Amino acid sequence: KHIPGGVNSPVRAFKSVGGKPFFVKKGEGSKIYDIDGNSYIDYVCSWGLLILGHSPPAVINALKNKIKFGLSYGAPTEIETELAQLIKKCIPSIELLRFVNSGTEATMSAIRLARGFTGRNKIVKFEGCYHGHADSFLIKAGSGVATLGLPASTGVTREVAKDTINLPYNDVENFTKVVEKKHEEIAGIILEPVAGNMGVIPAEKEFIEKIRELTQKYDIVLIFDEVISGFRVALGGAQEFYNVNPDLTCLGKIIGGGLPVGAYGGRKDIMEKIAPLGPVYQAGTLSGNPVAMTAGYQTIKELMKPDVYQKLEKLGKKLESGIRSNLDKLGIELQYNRIGSISALFFTEEKVYDFASAQKSDTKRYARYFHEMLNRGIFLPPSQFEANFISLAHTENDIEKTIKANHLSLKRLF
Ligand code: PLP
C-alpha cells in the first residue's frame, strides 16, 4: 500500500523465488531474526556488507560514542581523513579518494570522471556485472535486473544506452577485437573483477591481464568495481588477489560498516580532475558523514587484525567441501563457484564462467531450494543470481548446520 512492491530494493521482494519476505526484527552475530519469532543463519549479510556479522560490538560501541557529538555537520571532520588513510593503506592503487553515499554513486561518479579525464564518451561494461542503478549501467546488468529477467530498464534513453558497450565476461578475444577497433571512443572500462551479481564468477587471470594491458596501451581508464570484492576477497580486494592495479576503484558496502557509504578513488592525476580541484563535478550533502565514517573505520580496523581472511577462507572451504560431498552422495551434478567467503551454488551441470552460462541455471529449482533452506533456518539470497556471504561471526557449527540443511533440501529436490 505504501512502498512499491513493499520493498525499497527489488530483490528483497522474493519475486523470483516466490512467497513473501519476512520482516526483520534484529540481527545478531551470524543470525537474523524476524518479527514472527523465527531466526535464520544469514548468508545474505545485508548483500555482503556485514563481514563482521550483525551488530559487531566494536562498531556499535564506537557509534554510541560518536553520536553524542551530533550526526552531520556539512563541514570536514577528522574521521573522513582517517578512514581515507586506512583505505589507502589497504589498497595502495588508491592515491586519492572521495566518499559518497552508495555504490551506485561511486560507479556513476567514476565513469563521469573517466569521461572528463579522457574527453571520450563510451564506457565498456560486461554482461551480468552490476554497477548500481545509474542509467549507463542498466543494460544487460546483473543483480535485480537479472533476477527480474529485464534486458534493460525502461526510462534509459537511447542516447545514453548507445554510449555503453556491453561485452561478455571472461571473453578475451571479443574484448580485444572491440577495443582494438573502438579505443579512440572509449573513456573507461568498468568491471567487477570478481563478479558477484550473476552468482559468483571470478574473472580469469588472463582476462583481467588483457584488460589492463589494452587499457594502458590506449589510455583508457580502467575501473574496478570492488563494491562487493573490496575488503572481501582480500584486505586489498580483488586487485590484491589478482595483483593487477586499476586506475580507479569503486567501493561501497563493507567500507560503511552497515551505514550508507561508497567511495571512488585511484590515480592522483585522474582524481585531481574532481571539483573543487578540477572541472568534473560531484558532491553530496551527507558524503563523508561522520557517523557512517566511524562505522567504516571500526570495521576496517577489525579486518586489519591478523588471520581474518584465513578464517573466512577456512569457513568458505568447509562449506564448499560439505556441499560438494552432499552432491557426490546424492549423485547430483551442480556447479559451485567460490572465492574465499563468497560463493554460489548454480543449478546447472555446466561450468559457469559468464552471464550466458549462469543463465542456464534452473531458477525454478533454485526457488524451491531457497524455500527448503529457509524452512530449515538458513537464509540464502532470494535469487540464483546473487552471492552467498559468510561473515566472521559465522561459526563452524553454523556451517555444519547449513551443510546438513543443504543435504536434506537437495534430497527433496532431485
Ligand atoms: N557495484 C556492485 C558490484 C554492487 O554489487 C552494487 C550493489 O549491490 C553496486 C555497485 C551498487 O551499490 P549500491 O546498492 O550501494 O548503490
Question: Residue-wise pLDDT tens for the chain (414 aa)?
Answer: 999 999 999 999 999 999 999 999 999 999 999 999 999 999 999 999 999 999 999 999 999 999 999 999 999 999 999 999 999 999 999 999 999 999 999 999 999 999 999 999 999 999 999 999 999 998 777 777 777 766 678 898 888 889 999 999 999 999 999 999 999 999 999 999 999 999 999 999 999 999 999 999 999 999 999 999 999 999 999 999 999 999 999 999 999 999 999 999 999 999 999 999 999 999 999 999 999 999 999 999 999 999 999 999 999 999 999 999 999 999 999 999 999 999 999 999 999 999 999 999 999 999 999 999 999 999 999 999 999 999 999 999 999 999 999 999 999 999
- Read off φ and ψ for residue 42, nearest 5 degrees: -100, 120
Cell numbers found for residue 216: 594502458
For residue 1, the 8-state DSSP code is: -
User: Strands 186-191, 221-225: parallel, antiparallel or unpaired by DSSP?
Assistant: parallel
User: Strands 262-266, 335-339: parallel, antiparallel or unpaired by DSSP?
Assistant: unpaired
In the set 31, 125, 140, 253, the catalytic residue is 253
Non-local (6+) Cβ contacts of 231 within 8 A are 51, 90, 237, 251, 254, 255, 300, 303
Ligand 1 atom closest to 253 (CA): 15
Q: Is the pTM of this model over 0.85?
A: yes
130 is catalytic: yes
Ligand 1 atom closest to 197 (CA): 5
Q: Could you give the angle at the alpha carbon of 260 between the alpha carbons of 255 and 265, nearest 5°?
A: 50
CB neighbourhood size of 262 (10 A): 27
388 lines ligand 1 (CB under 6 A): no
Single-letter amino acid, residue 400: E
225 lines ligand 1 (CB under 6 A): yes
Handedness of CA 346, 323, 371, 133 (dihedral sign): negative
The strand order across the sheet containing 122-126 reads 96-100, 262-266, 248-251, 221-225, 186-191, 122-126, 164-167
225 is catalytic: yes
